[in-house]
Amino acid sequence: MNLSMLEFLLQQAWQSIRRNGLMSLATSSNMTVALIILSSFFLATINLEHMADVEARKANITVDLTEDADPGKVEAALLGDQRVASTDYRTEDETLRDVAETLGLDYETLKTTLENPLPASIRVTPKNPQDVPAIAEAAENIEGVAKVKYRQQITEKLLTLARGIKIAGIVAAVLMGLATLLIVSTTIRLTIYARRREVRIMQLVGATDWFIRLPFILEGAFHGIMGGALSTVLVLASYSYTHMYVQQHLEFLALIYNTTFMVLFGLGTLLCGVLFGAAGSWIGLRTYLRHV
Protein backbone atom coordinates (compact mmCIF):
# COMPACT_ATOMS: atom_id res chain seq x y z
CA MET A 1 0.00 0.00 0.00
CA ASN A 2 1.52 3.34 -1.07
CA LEU A 3 1.25 6.66 0.75
CA SER A 4 -1.39 8.13 -1.57
CA MET A 5 -3.65 5.10 -1.07
CA LEU A 6 -3.32 5.38 2.72
CA GLU A 7 -4.12 9.09 2.55
CA PHE A 8 -7.20 8.32 0.44
CA LEU A 9 -8.43 5.70 2.90
CA LEU A 10 -7.91 8.06 5.85
CA GLN A 11 -9.89 10.76 4.03
CA GLN A 12 -12.67 8.28 3.31
CA ALA A 13 -12.79 7.20 6.94
CA TRP A 14 -12.89 10.79 8.21
CA GLN A 15 -15.61 11.79 5.73
CA SER A 16 -17.70 8.80 6.79
CA ILE A 17 -17.33 9.78 10.45
CA ARG A 18 -18.42 13.35 9.70
CA ARG A 19 -21.36 12.28 7.49
CA ASN A 20 -22.63 9.82 10.10
CA GLY A 21 -22.10 11.99 13.16
CA LEU A 22 -24.94 10.59 15.26
CA MET A 23 -23.99 6.96 14.61
CA SER A 24 -20.31 7.79 15.27
CA LEU A 25 -21.27 9.38 18.58
CA ALA A 26 -23.29 6.31 19.56
CA THR A 27 -20.40 4.00 18.65
CA SER A 28 -17.85 6.04 20.61
CA SER A 29 -20.23 6.20 23.59
CA ASN A 30 -20.69 2.43 23.61
CA MET A 31 -16.91 2.01 23.39
CA THR A 32 -16.49 4.36 26.34
CA VAL A 33 -19.00 2.50 28.52
CA ALA A 34 -17.53 -0.90 27.63
CA LEU A 35 -13.97 0.25 28.36
CA ILE A 36 -15.03 1.88 31.64
CA ILE A 37 -16.49 -1.45 32.81
CA LEU A 38 -13.44 -3.41 31.65
CA SER A 39 -10.83 -1.01 33.08
CA SER A 40 -12.71 -0.62 36.40
CA PHE A 41 -12.82 -4.40 36.77
CA PHE A 42 -9.09 -4.56 35.99
CA LEU A 43 -8.29 -1.95 38.65
CA ALA A 44 -10.40 -3.76 41.25
CA THR A 45 -8.78 -7.13 40.48
CA ILE A 46 -5.18 -5.90 40.44
CA ASN A 47 -5.67 -4.00 43.71
CA LEU A 48 -7.24 -7.00 45.45
CA GLU A 49 -4.30 -9.13 44.36
CA HIS A 50 -1.86 -6.39 45.48
CA MET A 51 -3.44 -6.11 48.94
CA ALA A 52 -3.39 -9.89 49.44
CA ASP A 53 0.25 -10.00 48.33
CA VAL A 54 1.21 -7.11 50.65
CA GLU A 55 -0.32 -8.90 53.64
CA ALA A 56 1.39 -12.16 52.66
CA ARG A 57 4.77 -10.38 52.44
CA LYS A 58 4.41 -9.25 56.04
CA ALA A 59 4.74 -12.89 57.03
CA ASN A 60 8.08 -13.74 58.63
CA ILE A 61 9.61 -16.67 60.46
CA THR A 62 10.75 -16.60 64.08
CA VAL A 63 13.64 -18.95 64.83
CA ASP A 64 14.10 -19.52 68.60
CA LEU A 65 17.68 -20.36 69.62
CA THR A 66 18.93 -22.79 72.23
CA GLU A 67 20.88 -21.39 75.21
CA ASP A 68 24.23 -22.62 73.88
CA ALA A 69 23.59 -21.58 70.27
CA ASP A 70 26.02 -19.39 68.33
CA PRO A 71 23.76 -16.67 66.79
CA GLY A 72 26.35 -15.78 64.14
CA LYS A 73 26.57 -19.33 62.82
CA VAL A 74 22.78 -19.74 62.80
CA GLU A 75 22.34 -16.45 60.93
CA ALA A 76 25.04 -17.45 58.43
CA ALA A 77 23.27 -20.76 57.83
CA LEU A 78 19.94 -19.01 57.34
CA LEU A 79 21.40 -16.42 54.95
CA GLY A 80 23.01 -19.26 53.00
CA ASP A 81 19.48 -20.14 51.83
CA GLN A 82 18.90 -18.25 48.55
CA ARG A 83 15.22 -17.87 49.46
CA VAL A 84 16.00 -15.72 52.54
CA ALA A 85 16.02 -11.94 52.05
CA SER A 86 17.27 -10.85 55.49
CA THR A 87 17.63 -11.85 59.13
CA ASP A 88 17.30 -9.85 62.35
CA TYR A 89 18.86 -11.18 65.57
CA ARG A 90 16.88 -10.40 68.74
CA THR A 91 18.33 -10.88 72.23
CA GLU A 92 16.23 -12.22 75.11
CA ASP A 93 15.45 -8.68 76.27
CA GLU A 94 14.58 -7.47 72.76
CA THR A 95 12.27 -10.46 72.30
CA LEU A 96 10.54 -9.58 75.58
CA ARG A 97 10.20 -5.97 74.43
CA ASP A 98 8.60 -7.13 71.17
CA VAL A 99 6.09 -9.27 73.09
CA ALA A 100 5.28 -6.37 75.44
CA GLU A 101 4.63 -4.04 72.49
CA THR A 102 2.45 -6.64 70.78
CA LEU A 103 0.36 -7.18 73.94
CA GLY A 104 0.28 -3.48 74.83
CA LEU A 105 2.13 -3.97 78.14
CA ASP A 106 4.79 -1.81 79.77
CA TYR A 107 8.20 -3.35 79.07
CA GLU A 108 9.97 -2.00 82.19
CA THR A 109 7.20 -3.24 84.51
CA LEU A 110 7.16 -6.61 82.78
CA LYS A 111 10.95 -6.92 83.04
CA THR A 112 11.08 -6.15 86.77
CA THR A 113 8.10 -8.28 87.84
CA LEU A 114 9.07 -11.58 86.26
CA GLU A 115 12.08 -13.46 85.03
CA ASN A 116 12.36 -13.39 81.26
CA PRO A 117 11.36 -16.85 79.98
CA LEU A 118 11.85 -15.99 76.32
CA PRO A 119 14.87 -17.21 74.33
CA ALA A 120 16.98 -15.21 71.90
CA SER A 121 15.60 -15.44 68.40
CA ILE A 122 16.22 -14.58 64.78
CA ARG A 123 13.50 -13.04 62.65
CA VAL A 124 13.73 -14.28 59.05
CA THR A 125 12.22 -12.39 56.11
CA PRO A 126 11.77 -14.43 52.89
CA LYS A 127 12.23 -13.02 49.39
CA ASN A 128 9.02 -14.66 48.29
CA PRO A 129 6.18 -15.38 50.77
CA GLN A 130 5.48 -18.59 48.86
CA ASP A 131 8.75 -19.98 50.30
CA VAL A 132 7.86 -19.49 53.99
CA PRO A 133 6.93 -23.17 54.69
CA ALA A 134 10.05 -24.48 52.91
CA ILE A 135 12.38 -22.03 54.71
CA ALA A 136 10.82 -22.94 58.07
CA GLU A 137 11.31 -26.64 57.41
CA ALA A 138 14.96 -26.11 56.43
CA ALA A 139 15.61 -23.91 59.49
CA GLU A 140 14.51 -26.69 61.85
CA ASN A 141 17.56 -28.74 60.80
CA ILE A 142 20.12 -26.03 61.66
CA GLU A 143 22.26 -26.67 64.74
CA GLY A 144 21.36 -24.31 67.59
CA VAL A 145 17.71 -23.89 66.57
CA ALA A 146 15.21 -24.79 69.30
CA LYS A 147 11.95 -23.99 67.55
CA VAL A 148 10.68 -22.42 64.33
CA LYS A 149 7.42 -20.45 64.34
CA TYR A 150 5.34 -18.68 61.74
CA ARG A 151 1.68 -17.96 61.25
CA GLN A 152 1.18 -21.03 59.11
CA GLN A 153 -2.58 -20.99 58.63
CA ILE A 154 -2.83 -17.23 58.06
CA THR A 155 0.14 -17.16 55.68
CA GLU A 156 -1.10 -20.12 53.65
CA LYS A 157 -4.60 -18.64 53.42
CA LEU A 158 -3.22 -15.29 52.23
CA LEU A 159 -1.05 -16.97 49.63
CA THR A 160 -4.00 -19.08 48.46
CA LEU A 161 -6.15 -15.94 48.28
CA ALA A 162 -3.51 -14.09 46.22
CA ARG A 163 -3.22 -17.01 43.78
CA GLY A 164 -7.01 -17.35 43.57
CA ILE A 165 -7.50 -13.66 42.83
CA LYS A 166 -4.82 -13.78 40.12
CA ILE A 167 -6.37 -16.80 38.39
CA ALA A 168 -9.93 -15.48 38.75
CA GLY A 169 -8.76 -12.09 37.47
CA ILE A 170 -7.20 -13.59 34.34
CA VAL A 171 -10.29 -15.69 33.57
CA ALA A 172 -12.69 -12.82 34.24
CA ALA A 173 -10.53 -10.38 32.23
CA VAL A 174 -10.68 -12.71 29.21
CA LEU A 175 -14.47 -13.03 29.57
CA MET A 176 -14.88 -9.28 30.02
CA GLY A 177 -12.65 -8.65 27.01
CA LEU A 178 -14.73 -10.99 24.86
CA ALA A 179 -17.94 -9.33 26.09
CA THR A 180 -16.50 -5.90 25.29
CA LEU A 181 -15.47 -7.07 21.81
CA LEU A 182 -18.99 -8.47 21.24
CA ILE A 183 -20.60 -5.16 22.26
CA VAL A 184 -18.25 -3.20 20.02
CA SER A 185 -18.64 -5.50 17.00
CA THR A 186 -22.43 -5.45 17.37
CA THR A 187 -22.49 -1.65 17.55
CA ILE A 188 -20.21 -1.30 14.52
CA ARG A 189 -22.26 -3.87 12.64
CA LEU A 190 -25.25 -1.55 13.05
CA THR A 191 -23.13 1.26 11.60
CA ILE A 192 -22.20 -0.94 8.64
CA TYR A 193 -25.85 -1.92 8.12
CA ALA A 194 -26.86 1.75 8.08
CA ARG A 195 -24.30 2.27 5.30
CA ARG A 196 -25.05 -0.94 3.41
CA ARG A 197 -25.86 0.97 0.23
CA GLU A 198 -22.40 2.55 0.24
CA VAL A 199 -20.80 -0.88 0.74
CA ARG A 200 -22.87 -2.38 -2.10
CA ILE A 201 -21.87 0.40 -4.50
CA MET A 202 -18.20 -0.20 -3.71
CA GLN A 203 -18.68 -3.92 -4.44
CA LEU A 204 -20.39 -3.19 -7.76
CA VAL A 205 -17.55 -0.98 -8.97
CA GLY A 206 -15.07 -3.80 -8.28
CA ALA A 207 -13.59 -2.81 -4.92
CA THR A 208 -11.88 -5.69 -3.12
CA ASP A 209 -13.06 -6.80 0.32
CA TRP A 210 -9.91 -5.36 1.94
CA PHE A 211 -10.41 -2.02 0.20
CA ILE A 212 -13.95 -1.94 1.64
CA ARG A 213 -12.80 -3.08 5.07
CA LEU A 214 -9.93 -0.67 5.66
CA PRO A 215 -11.95 2.58 6.01
CA PHE A 216 -14.28 0.84 8.47
CA ILE A 217 -11.32 -0.57 10.42
CA LEU A 218 -9.79 2.93 10.58
CA GLU A 219 -13.14 4.28 11.76
CA GLY A 220 -13.29 1.57 14.42
CA ALA A 221 -9.78 2.49 15.56
CA PHE A 222 -10.83 6.15 15.74
CA HIS A 223 -13.86 5.29 17.87
CA GLY A 224 -11.57 3.16 20.03
CA ILE A 225 -9.19 6.09 20.60
CA MET A 226 -12.09 8.38 21.49
CA GLY A 227 -13.68 5.81 23.80
CA GLY A 228 -10.30 4.91 25.32
CA ALA A 229 -9.37 8.54 25.97
CA LEU A 230 -12.71 9.41 27.57
CA SER A 231 -12.85 6.22 29.68
CA THR A 232 -9.24 6.80 30.82
CA VAL A 233 -10.05 10.30 32.03
CA LEU A 234 -13.23 9.20 33.84
CA VAL A 235 -11.76 6.05 35.42
CA LEU A 236 -8.49 7.69 36.53
CA ALA A 237 -10.36 10.68 37.98
CA SER A 238 -12.61 8.31 39.96
CA TYR A 239 -9.63 6.17 40.98
CA SER A 240 -7.69 9.24 42.20
CA TYR A 241 -10.66 10.30 44.32
CA THR A 242 -11.01 6.75 45.69
CA HIS A 243 -7.30 6.64 46.54
CA MET A 244 -7.52 9.98 48.36
CA TYR A 245 -10.56 8.78 50.34
CA VAL A 246 -8.85 5.50 51.26
CA GLN A 247 -5.73 7.35 52.43
CA GLN A 248 -7.82 9.56 54.71
CA HIS A 249 -10.28 7.02 56.10
CA LEU A 250 -9.02 3.48 55.38
CA GLU A 251 -5.28 3.65 55.86
CA PHE A 252 -4.96 -0.11 56.28
CA LEU A 253 -5.85 -0.62 52.60
CA ALA A 254 -2.92 -0.37 50.19
CA LEU A 255 -4.00 0.74 46.71
CA ILE A 256 -1.56 0.89 43.81
CA TYR A 257 -1.04 4.57 43.02
CA ASN A 258 1.99 6.03 41.29
CA THR A 259 2.78 7.97 38.13
CA THR A 260 4.19 4.99 36.23
CA PHE A 261 1.12 2.86 36.97
CA MET A 262 -1.28 5.64 35.96
CA VAL A 263 0.56 6.32 32.68
CA LEU A 264 0.76 2.62 31.78
CA PHE A 265 -2.92 2.17 32.68
CA GLY A 266 -3.90 5.09 30.42
CA LEU A 267 -1.79 3.83 27.51
CA GLY A 268 -3.14 0.31 28.01
CA THR A 269 -6.73 1.54 27.92
CA LEU A 270 -6.07 3.53 24.72
CA LEU A 271 -4.41 0.49 23.12
CA CYS A 272 -7.36 -1.73 24.14
CA GLY A 273 -9.73 0.82 22.63
CA VAL A 274 -7.87 0.83 19.31
CA LEU A 275 -7.65 -2.98 19.21
CA PHE A 276 -11.29 -3.49 20.16
CA GLY A 277 -12.43 -0.86 17.66
CA ALA A 278 -10.38 -2.26 14.78
CA ALA A 279 -11.19 -5.90 15.63
CA GLY A 280 -14.88 -5.10 16.10
CA SER A 281 -15.01 -3.42 12.68
CA TRP A 282 -13.21 -6.32 11.04
CA ILE A 283 -15.52 -8.92 12.63
CA GLY A 284 -18.68 -6.94 11.91
CA LEU A 285 -17.80 -6.24 8.29
CA ARG A 286 -16.55 -9.78 7.69
CA THR A 287 -19.89 -11.17 8.89
CA TYR A 288 -21.79 -8.68 6.74
CA LEU A 289 -19.75 -9.27 3.57
CA ARG A 290 -20.20 -13.01 3.95
CA HIS A 291 -23.98 -12.62 3.62
CA VAL A 292 -24.15 -10.18 0.72
| 168-201 pLDDT per residue, tens | 777 877 777 777 777 767 766 776 776 677 767 7
The reported pLDDT for the residue numbered 274 is 87
227: CB partners within 8 A, 6+ apart: 28, 29, 30, 31, 32, 34, 35, 273, 277
Q: What is residue 233's predicted lDDT score, i.e. its pLDDT?
A: 92
Mean pLDDT of the chain: 77
Q: For the chain, which residues make up each domain, given as ranges?
A: 3-55+158-290, 60-150
pLDDT given for residue 97 in this prediction: 79
Hey, which residues does 125 pair with through a beta bridge?
Answer: 86
Mean pLDDT of the region 74-102: 82
> What's the Cα-to-Cα distance from 280 to each of 12, 78, 148, 157, 181, rounded to whole Å?
19, 56, 57, 41, 6
Q: In whole angstroms, what is the distance from residue 128 CA to residue 152 CA?
A: 15
Q: If pLDDT is split at 50, 70 and 90, which confidence band does 290 have?
A: low
pTM for this predicted structure: 0.63
Number of CB atoms found within 10 A of residue 101's CB: 10
Find the DSSP H helices in the chain. 3-19, 21-57, 71-79, 92-103, 107-113, 132-139, 152-194, 196-204, 209-249, 259-290
pLDDT tens digits, 29-41: 878 888 888 888 8
Nearest residue to 88 (alpha-carbon basis) of 117, 118, 126, 56: 126
CATH code for the part of the protein at 60-150 = 3.30.70.3040
Is the Cα torsion angle 106, 109, 113, 114 positive or negative in sign?
A: positive
For 86, list phi and psi in degrees, rounded to 5. -160, 165
DSSP state of 6: H
> pLDDT tens-digit profile of 90-135?
888 887 777 777 667 776 776 777 677 778 888 888 888 778 888 8
Which residues, including other chains, have CB under 8 Å from residue 77's CB and lie 6 or more apart? 142, 143
**CB 215 within 8 Å of CB 7:** no
Q: Specify the DSSP element, H or E, that contains 144.
A: none
